[in-house]
Amino acid sequence: MESVKIGMIGYKFMGKAHSHAYRDLPMFFPKQLRPEMKVICGRNSEGVAQAAAQFGWKEYTTDWKNLILRDDIDVIDINAPSNVHKEIALAAAKAGKHIFCEKPLALTLQDSRDMLEAAEAAGVKHMVGFNYRFTPAVMLAKKLIDEGRLGEIVHFRAWFLQDWIVDPAFPLVWRLQKDVAGSGSHGDLGAHLIDMAHYLIGDMTEVVGMNETFIKERPLPAAMSGLSAKASKDQAAHKGPVTVDDATLFMTRFDNGALGSFEATRFAAGHRCTNSFEINGSKGSVLFDFERLNELQVYFVDDADDVQGFRRVLATDAAHAYSDVWWPAGHTIGYEHTFIHEVVELMEAIREDRQPAPNFKDGVKCQQVLEAVDLSIAERRWVQVSDL
Amino acid sequence: MESVKIGMIGYKFMGKAHSHAYRDLPMFFPKQLRPEMKVICGRNSEGVAQAAAQFGWKEYTTDWKNLILRDDIDVIDINAPSNVHKEIALAAAKAGKHIFCEKPLALTLQDSRDMLEAAEAAGVKHMVGFNYRFTPAVMLAKKLIDEGRLGEIVHFRAWFLQDWIVDPAFPLVWRLQKDVAGSGSHGDLGAHLIDMAHYLIGDMTEVVGMNETFIKERPLPAAMSGLSAKASKDQAAHKGPVTVDDATLFMTRFDNGALGSFEATRFAAGHRCTNSFEINGSKGSVLFDFERLNELQVYFVDDADDVQGFRRVLATDAAHAYSDVWWPAGHTIGYEHTFIHEVVELMEAIREDRQPAPNFKDGVKCQQVLEAVDLSIAERRWVQVSDL
Amino acid sequence: MESVKIGMIGYKFMGKAHSHAYRDLPMFFPKQLRPEMKVICGRNSEGVAQAAAQFGWKEYTTDWKNLILRDDIDVIDINAPSNVHKEIALAAAKAGKHIFCEKPLALTLQDSRDMLEAAEAAGVKHMVGFNYRFTPAVMLAKKLIDEGRLGEIVHFRAWFLQDWIVDPAFPLVWRLQKDVAGSGSHGDLGAHLIDMAHYLIGDMTEVVGMNETFIKERPLPAAMSGLSAKASKDQAAHKGPVTVDDATLFMTRFDNGALGSFEATRFAAGHRCTNSFEINGSKGSVLFDFERLNELQVYFVDDADDVQGFRRVLATDAAHAYSDVWWPAGHTIGYEHTFIHEVVELMEAIREDRQPAPNFKDGVKCQQVLEAVDLSIAERRWVQVSDL
Amino acid sequence: MESVKIGMIGYKFMGKAHSHAYRDLPMFFPKQLRPEMKVICGRNSEGVAQAAAQFGWKEYTTDWKNLILRDDIDVIDINAPSNVHKEIALAAAKAGKHIFCEKPLALTLQDSRDMLEAAEAAGVKHMVGFNYRFTPAVMLAKKLIDEGRLGEIVHFRAWFLQDWIVDPAFPLVWRLQKDVAGSGSHGDLGAHLIDMAHYLIGDMTEVVGMNETFIKERPLPAAMSGLSAKASKDQAAHKGPVTVDDATLFMTRFDNGALGSFEATRFAAGHRCTNSFEINGSKGSVLFDFERLNELQVYFVDDADDVQGFRRVLATDAAHAYSDVWWPAGHTIGYEHTFIHEVVELMEAIREDRQPAPNFKDGVKCQQVLEAVDLSIAERRWVQVSDL
């Protein structure tokens, strides 16, 4: 089978997840185009060399600009920090490479639109990394909706709950600094919920939001603290301000009339990764929680009246997406499989010469809602999404 | 044990629940004052006579004004339709009777304030029927918060989901007509969530809401349809407009800094009575669902690091509220028990000569938030609760 | 409605549960015969007087023999200790009274057969108190089986798990002494599972069992210890031998070919009252746990292939047994309601002049299996149930 | 890092699972010895060639005897059908290769003992594929037991429930034929439960069992039916007898005094892969279900008395086995990861020059219990495990 040569920029959490997806894909999806793990790129030479060896990349480099210009690269995979997405994507588009960019697409709506425009102008494939779409149980929800089996959708409620910064002694890592991370729970967790809503329900008309930073100051990490110590002698210098939101909530009205509510927080003690949504329609409901990602709770209004109830469907049967390549029914899969499925979509789109889904348009739409919510919070009012 | 003589106005759903509470209380709480089921009152003579016989009241009447003036009545229990609460309560206060009034206290904030003022002026005991407070699992949540075992509270999210009107063919009953019911899901279901928030978290600073009526017209019930048929020959006349909300959502900021989100809906297919909340604090979390009312999910940040997880606590142990009078641990109780506990509180307050909790002040506070949300929806803006 | 006059012997745990059932029945089932709480009887005059007042009995007595002979008594309710069941029942039958006897029917199979024979000879109604049959969710399981919706039954597995004697310091109460209690977990908890199996699946062909007493000696309760102290000065005298089983397991083959497994234990830490069973058939399965008594998990083989899964059915809908008299859908009931439904069956049987179910025949059948298991354990072999 | 050269015999379900483990191990466990996917072997040349390409093996062969003799092979991985395990293992031991053999180790206890003896005589490492031991949640259970946090263990109950042959139209595949498969649910599913019991609780003293084949005849698969059609013209010839058990149950007494019950069935409608156990000890309990393999339910007797309850522990935290190499807390893993962990153990054992666990001794012990149960069923009596 023909191969697709990948050049990947970034090698941390997402770099590892993407690498694994490329590595496993050919074994489980042998009929797909074969991603070839050509070059991995990072700023730290030692770090990227080790990652290349560990993850199975043929080459490594610290020069991303040169990587983009190489003739033997088909796809640029961008999972470097968000603040460099735009520059790399524009260069990749210019060089005629397909682009697979992690979410968030960019730090601002305008940047994400520039990226989409560049990719469209260049005629390349573009994809954005909303991996949760590729959970088989989520795809079952999508199928039920598309086939009308839930009827008219009236409610969508979603919450992404984590708890890794509940402790005030947790240090001021880069994810808690706005200039580096762009956003806090809103852009990190809320973005996934927003894309899920777009995927399953459709566009949003208007939003109103609120947010909070519960812990205003945190201890500086060792390295940062060291630097600060030179400039100051008092103890206070060892703390720094948290400049992103710890939690963001918003409500929305969808174009189709459904009502939506969203909550993203890193302060929900006991929740490691509760990425969850419920959908109510006139004919049924579904409920999903990523901590039990193989399951979808499904309810049908038309079930016999003495046996109505939410069904715990284990989405590992032959009837479920991707199930044929994995293990027998009931033998569950995990987080990393969402990335494998995601890359399968990328490979299929390239072979079929179509845009993958989700692509930069979805990334832009997500960014639009994120900013609409931010504006709503800043101005304490309802904001029309289309105004942005 | 001394008895407290009850005169009850209303005999339908809540009348039945209250009657049962009075009936069972002496058997399980023999040390409390004994409620004496003296007189039951209703507009329909035949109906109230049957209720009296069935529920165990000594007398019945259709004249509530006279009932209130009787010397042999200590407490007036009001569970007639909401639109008559005020008139009855004012009369009862004037007559020097203690008042136990179902929620919502009144149709408007002003009315509820008048009722509180009258009761306070008369120096009588006053109680409002937020029965869900009296679920032992909820009382455990309250205890954990009060003892500081959840730390500083940062999140409260609550949802009351029902599904009894999902079918568009469901008729236009009185609960769907604003002039009779006052409100839809907001006042009916949301009111319970709001009181729960007041009970567990505290006062709210500001709110912003949204609502929707998904089915705008419904078939008239047989009786109403019959009337309409006289005035009109066309088929359309057999439908009438739904004038209350099917669903209301709102967000809030509590005085203590916590963020809150609320959703009340009758359009959540598969949910019969999901009256549920989750609270996250700096030291732990709790999760409750009334469909499993004997259980509270509890999480503690300080649990040993290899066995952290939500505990399914069955609130039927000796350590739990009211458990000593019921059955052995693990032998669960049901919906009706919340009313028995509620009446125990009323009996204790009378004996101890103090106001019961929740009382009319809580009813007023709930009404204040309900109206603040309505105003927020009408004017599409954040509303300060204290402005009302 | 005509009344049925009850004379009840026993006034502790089961006496309270039965009294409450009589007390509540007329309010919720006004069309049934009305049980009249005439006389309560117990050995301790002070205790039974207090119980009479608290539970609502008109009279009390300490003379059960006289009670049985009274003309103004229709039903003798026996919930005194098991070792007196037989004598009372024989006398009641002789006096022509209907008999409602708590489980276990007697201490031995022979005794229970004598009781059945006496009741049949006297032509009176006889009922045995297997209250768990009357849980609406269990009745739904029965309905599904009877209607063939689970197909041919192949598996029944049941376990009744409690944990109240896990602590070795828990004292040697009467339930742990064979001469008083007759049996330990086997007769106390296992008996309920056996009746459930008879009710839902049918008769058993053969059994093989095992049991264990994990804690061989326990501290004597204060009273007993006091007595012992007189006879001995050493510390050992303050302990006494546990003479019943802490846990009993057995396997069975049903007459219809299904395989069964049973476990009754008081040593399952964390389980307060896990009275649970699962049934697998060729067309579906059901799963029940009494700690969530309003729910039945139901699975159907013929569900559409992408939405197969156990449904959590809340047995509180209009389609479920007894639901019309209780609260709206989703408003759950508790342990005590099983007794109310049980007494409804008794009242109906009396009115319809038929034997109630379960009756003494079911009590005998249960005893037969209990003894077959005991014999199997004693002789370490399979035992044919019909051999006993 | 030094590599360990693997020669693998077999390439179907388990061959795929093992291949994936070898493939992924170096990426996630870079400090371990690196398994080198040298040669894959199978009987069908075309099939094995395709598997080699798909799974990533360097070479393939159909000559397993020659493979075993190659100098450039360190480990022989046997996942061919069970009836050839012995011959291959003996040859591999003779050739001085380490052996990693799938369960069941052999078709008979004697064969498995021969294999153990041969491996010990040759001084090679030997491992048996009880992969479920390597689930992090199961390893947490093991840790809690070993640290005494559950106290003295009194109960172990386990059930492996599947439903893939409930339909009588399901064909007579090789797994349902004794001469090929050796055993039905007992050896296939029960074997896993038995090893889990050995791992977590310890040795068993005695057993008593029962089994059943619910569907006695099944349609021959297309190929077999074709052959049969030549020999016979009647319709009956298109069916063949099922010669293995559909379900096997047994009870046991452990050497440490705990009681055990086991059930393995392929007739539990709704259960795809419910490989589950519960353990009760004097200080706590644990409950595991492989359909939710990332979770362990944990209960402690010593928890504060108002918050006692089973905790849902997500075994993905830093405190859990293998968690450091996978994803952040709450990002779950799947079935295939148990094999990766299993191979990590094999690599560590080779590097540390010790026997891996579980090894052939565990395979023998499992076989001993399987046969003791079979004997118990055949002779309808309790069997001492040590008698075999």
pLDDT digits (tens, 9 = 90+) for A59-115: 999 999 999 999 999 999 999 998 999 999 999 999 999 999 999 999 999 999 999
What's the pLDDT at C229?
44
Q: Is the pLDDT of residue A232 over 50?
A: no
pLDDT score of A1 = 52
Q: Are residues C93 and C139 in the same domain?
A: no
Note whether A95 and A68 are within 8 A (CB).
yes
Structure tokens at C210: 């095992």
| 8 Å CB contact of D253 and C210 | yes
Asked if the C-beta of A26 comes within 8 angstroms of chain D's C-beta atoms, the answer is yes
Can you state the angle between helices D360-379 and D191-200, rounded to 10 degrees?
120
Pick the last residue of a domain from A131, A160, A177: A131
Mean pLDDT of chain C: 95
Q: Which of B159, B257, B285 sits opposite A270 (nearest CB)?
A: B285
CATH number at residue B214: 3.30.360.10
HEC letters along chain A: CCEEEEEEECCCHHHHHHHHHHHHHHHHCCCCCEEEEEEEECCCHHHHHHHHHHHCCCEEECCHHHHHHCCCCCEEEECCCHHHHHHHHHHHHHCCCEEEECCCCCCCHHHHHHHHHHHHHHCCCEEECCHHHHCHHHHHHHHHHHCCCCCCEEEEEEEEECCCCCCCCCCCCHHHCHHHHCCCHHHHHHHHHHHHHHHHCCCEEEEEEEEECCCCEEECCHHHHHHHHHHCCCHHHHEEECCCCCEEEEEEEECCCCEEEEEEECCCCCCCCEEEEEEEECCEEEEEEHHHCCEEEEEECCCCCCCCEEEEEECCCCCCCCCCCCCCCCCCCCHHHHHHHHHHHHHHHHHCCCCCCCCHHHHHHHHHHHHHHHHHHHHCECEEHHHC
Give yes or no: residues A121 and A159 share one domain: no
Task: State the residue range of the domain holding A98.
Answer: 3-131
**Average pLDDT of the residues in C72-90:** 96
Q: What are phi and psi of B204, to 5 degrees?
A: -105, 145
- For A202-211, the pLDDT digits (tens) are 999 999 999 9
pLDDT in tens, A115-174: 999 999 999 999 999 999 999 999 999 999 999 999 999 999 999 999 999 999 999 998
- Flag whether residue C267 sits within 8 Å of chain D, measured between CB atoms: yes
Give, in degrees to the nearest 5, the angle at Cα D332 between D195 and A99: 135
Distance from CA of C329 to the nearest CA of A (A): 12
Asked if the structure places residue A265 within a domain, the reply is yes
Indicate the residue among D73, D106, D131 that finishes a domain.
Answer: D131
Specify whether B76 is located in the same domain as B219.
no
Which tokens belong to A251? 């409500």
Is D300 an 8 Å CB contact of chain B?
yes
Q: Does residue B386 lie in a domain region?
A: no
Average pLDDT of C55-77? 97
Mapped onto helix, strand or coil, the DSSP state of residue B183 is: coil
Res C231: pLDDT: 46
Q: How far apart are alpha carbons D338 and D293 in whole angstroms?
A: 10
Same domain membership, residue A114 and residue A61: yes
pLDDT for A247 beyond 70: yes
Q: Is A92 in the same domain as A181?
A: no
Is the distance from CB of A37 to CB of A58 less than 8 angstroms?
A: yes
Min Cα distance C269 → chain D (Å) is: 6
Q: Does A170 touch chain B (CB under 8 A)?
A: no
Closest Cα in chain B, distance from residue A171 (Å): 16
Q: For residue A313, which residues of chain C lie inside 8 Å, CB to CB?
A: 306-309
Please check whether residue D388 lies inside any domain of the structure.
Answer: no
Residues 225-244 of B with CB under 8 A from A: none
- The beta-carbon neighbor of D310 closest among B144, B312, B318 is B312
Q: How far B154 CA sits from the closest chain C CA (Å)?
A: 30
Q: Strand A204-212 and strand A247-254: pairing? A: antiparallel
* Structural domains in chain D (count): 2
D313–B311 CB contact, under 8 Å: no
Position A305 scores a pLDDT of 97
CA distances from A335 to A10, A18, B315, D334 (A): 19, 12, 35, 8
Looking at D131, D148, D170, the residue that finishes a domain is D131
Q: What average pLDDT does range A21-32 have in this prediction?
A: 97
B307–D314 CB contact, under 8 Å: no
Contact C272 B314 (CB under 8 A): yes
Residue in A159, A214, A261 nearest the CB of B154:
A214
pLDDT band at C134 (very low <50, low <70, confident <90, very high): very high
A309 touches chain C (CB under 8 A): yes
Instruction: Tell me whether residues B312 and D312 touch, CB distance under 8 A.
Output: yes
For residue B327, the chain C residues in CB contact (below 8 A) are 17, 334-336
What per-residue confidence (pLDDT) applies to D182? 85
pLDDT recorded at residue D223: 60
Residue B199 half-sphere exposure, CB side, CA atoms within 13 Å?
25
Longest dimension (CA), chain B: 73
Per-residue pLDDT for chain D (388 aa), expressed as one digit of tens each? Answer: 589 999 999 999 999 999 999 999 999 999 999 999 999 999 999 999 999 999 999 999 999 999 999 999 999 999 999 899 999 999 999 999 999 999 999 999 999 999 999 999 999 999 999 999 999 999 999 999 999 999 999 999 999 999 999 999 999 998 999 988 889 999 999 999 999 999 999 999 999 999 999 999 999 987 665 444 444 444 555 899 999 999 999 999 999 999 999 999 999 999 999 999 999 999 999 999 999 999 999 999 999 999 999 999 999 999 999 999 999 999 999 999 999 999 999 999 999 999 999 999 999 999 999 999 999 999 999 999 999 9
Residue A262 has pLDDT above 90, yes or no: yes
The CA distance from A38 to the nearest CA of chain D, in Å, is: 16
User: Looking at chain C, which subunits does it touch, using at least 3 CB pairs closer than 8 Å as the criterion?
Assistant: A, B, D
pLDDT digits (tens, 9 = 90+) for A353-374: 999 999 999 999 999 999 999 9
Model pLDDT for residues A99-112, shown as the tens digit of each residue: 999 999 999 999 99
- The ipTM assigned to this model is 0.94
Under an 8 A CB cutoff, do D54 and A19 touch? Answer: no
pLDDT over 90 percentage in chain C: 92
The answer to whether residue C147 sits within a structural domain is: yes
Shared domain for B111 and B151, answered yes or no, is: no
Residue A51: inside a domain, yes or no?
yes
| Cα atoms in the 13 Å half-sphere on the side-chain side of D98 | 24
Question: In this structure, is residue A388 part of a structural domain?
Answer: no
D387 assigned to some structural domain: no
In this structure, the answer to whether residues C301 and C211 fall within a common structural domain is yes
Look at B307 and D298 and tell me if their CB atoms are within 8 Å.
yes
Q: Find the CATH number of the domain harbouring D31.
A: 3.40.50.720
Say whether both C123 and C151 belong to one domain: no
Q: Contact partners of D by the rule of 3+ C-beta pairs under 8 A? A: A, B, C
Answer whether residue A54 shows pLDDT above 90: yes
User: How far apart, in whole angstroms, are the C-alpha atoms of residue C190 and residue C178?
Assistant: 16
Cα–Cα distance measured from residue A57 to residue D55, given in angstroms and rounded to the nearest whole number: 18
CA pair distance A149, C300, nearest whole angstrom: 19
Q: Give chain D's radius of gyration (CA, Å).
A: 22
In-domain check, residue C385: no
Please tell me which of the candidates D253, D282, D299 has its beta carbon nearest to residue C270: D299
The reply to whether B305 and B329 lie within a common domain is: yes
Same domain, C98 and C159: no
Give the minimum alpha-carbon distance from D125 to chain A in angstroms, rounded to a whole number: 27
Q: What are phi and psi of D355, to 5 degrees?
A: -75, 140
Same domain, D100 and D243: no
D30 and chain A in contact, CB less than 8 A: yes
Three-state DSSP at C342 gives helix
Q: Looking at beta carbons, which residues of chain B come within 8 Å of C316?
A: 272
Set of chain A residues whose Cβ sits within 8 Å of the Cβ of C145:
none
Interchain contact A306–B (C-beta under 8 A):
no
Judge if A176 and A103 occupy the same domain: no
- Averaged over successive runs of 10 residues, the pLDDT of chain B (388 residues) comes to 92 97 97 97 97 98 97 97 94 98 94 98 98 98 98 98 96 90 92 98 98 96 56 63 97 98 98 97 98 98 98 97 94 97 98 98 98 98 97
